[in-house]
């Protein structure tokens, strides 16, 4: 049986009595002003990892809850406060999703958000693929203390819109033959 070191607890308990794994990146957004600012910017929403449902309750009539291990359903817009360890695979999955979505608003670790926007001028697989296929806009910075338990890093909410968005039901145009996703 593995030993657990004092002060290094993997599981922490919220005041609601729900256990969260900070080791798995579970930090729940608790600031209602940040939640409301995200809600005001979307229409039909796919929420990834509904957590304690504080965000879900605000947009209950518009939500399809999703788990990363399955195929993405059709959706018009997506909002998520993802565990930061799955940021890259989720962005990759979004960029490959057809039909195109209208937009996604995702909260990422601040450095990852800057890479997606290519503000760091540090080209990565994620930044190249995202810049080829989508427009990324920074919406808001979210501080560490807006989470329960407090996060160890600063966060940012970004909006990603595909460059070839089509109306629902319309067939998306094929990508140019010279365009392919960069693989790691």
145 is in an annotated binding site: no
Which residues, in sequence order, are CB contacts of 149 under 8 Å at separation 6+?
12, 14, 20, 22, 27
Please, are residues 27 and 36 in contact by the beta-carbon 8 Å criterion?
Answer: no
146 is in an annotated binding site: no
Q: b or e along 65-77 (b: 16 or more beta carbons within 10 Å of the residue's beta carbon)?
A: ebeeeeebeebbb
Please, are residues 140 and 96 in contact by the beta-carbon 8 Å criterion?
Answer: no
Query: Which residues are known binding-site members for S-adenosyl-L-methionine?
Result: 1, 81
Query: Which residues are known binding-site members?
Result: 1, 81
């Amino acid at each position: 049986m593995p030993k657990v070191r004092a002060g290094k607890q993997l599981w922490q308990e919220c005041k609601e009595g729900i256990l969260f794994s900070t080791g798995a990146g579970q930090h729940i957004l608790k600031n209602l002003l940040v939640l409301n600012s995200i809600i005001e910017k979307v229409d039909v929403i796919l929420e990834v990892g509904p957590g304690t449902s504080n965000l879900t309750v605000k947009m209950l009539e518009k939500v399809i809850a999703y788990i990363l291990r399955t195929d993405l359903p059709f959706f018009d817009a997506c909002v998520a406060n993802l565990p930061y360890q799955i940021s890259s695979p989720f962005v990759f999955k979004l960029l490959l999703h057809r039909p195109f979505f209208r937009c996604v608003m995702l909260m990422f670790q601040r450095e990852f958000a800057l890479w997606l926007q290519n503000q760091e001028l540090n080209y990565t697989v994620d930044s190249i693929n995202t810049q080829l296929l989508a427009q990324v806009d920074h919406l808001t910075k979210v501080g560490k203390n807006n989470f329960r338990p407090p996060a160890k890093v600063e966060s940012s909410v970004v909006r990603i819109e595909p460059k070839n968005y089509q109306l629902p039901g319309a067939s998306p145009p094929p990508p140019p033959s010279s365009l392919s996703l960069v693989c790691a």
